[in-house]
Amino acid sequence: MKFKFAVIASLVLASTAVQADWLKAATDSVKGSVTDSVKQTADGAKEAAYDSAVNSALGLVAGKTDKAYVTKKLGQASQTLTEEGAEVWSYDLSKLQQTYPMLTEALKQYPQVPEAIKLSFKGDTVSKIKMVKPAA
């Protein structure tokens, strides 16, 4: 009887240790996922704020700015192409910095400074503004 009790007690203790290890692993996994998710959200918010500062420095507003304004303000695009059915104009940010000193200050905030800005048009209006980072 004592032997059976000792075996059962050993099994219970061993399974408790396994459960504790499993619980710790599960907790660490969840904690890591949450931490990564929070970091990605924070990084995304920072990028959006940086992009907003650049857009403000150039006077660009998606859904409002038209082609005539863009051409008058930024000049001819360094590249024009079609992506997903939309006309896209690309501008070299290093060239725009020569004309817009406020742009230089806005770009200093980025951990990796974008090299270009792409403006997608829906009809005559800017529909999307995207910063293009250098290839890694």
The helix/strand/coil state of 64 is: coil
Q: State the average pLDDT for the chain.
A: 82
The helix/strand/coil state of 127 is: strand
Tally of CB atoms within 10 A around 122: 13
Residue with tokens 């503004």: 129
Model confidence pLDDT, tens digit, residues 69-128: 999 999 999 999 999 999 999 999 999 988 888 888 888 888 888 999 999 999 999 999
pTM exceeding 0.75: no
**Adjacency order of strands within the sheet including 125-132:** 79-83, 86-92, 116-122, 125-132
Domain ranges of the chain: 2-132
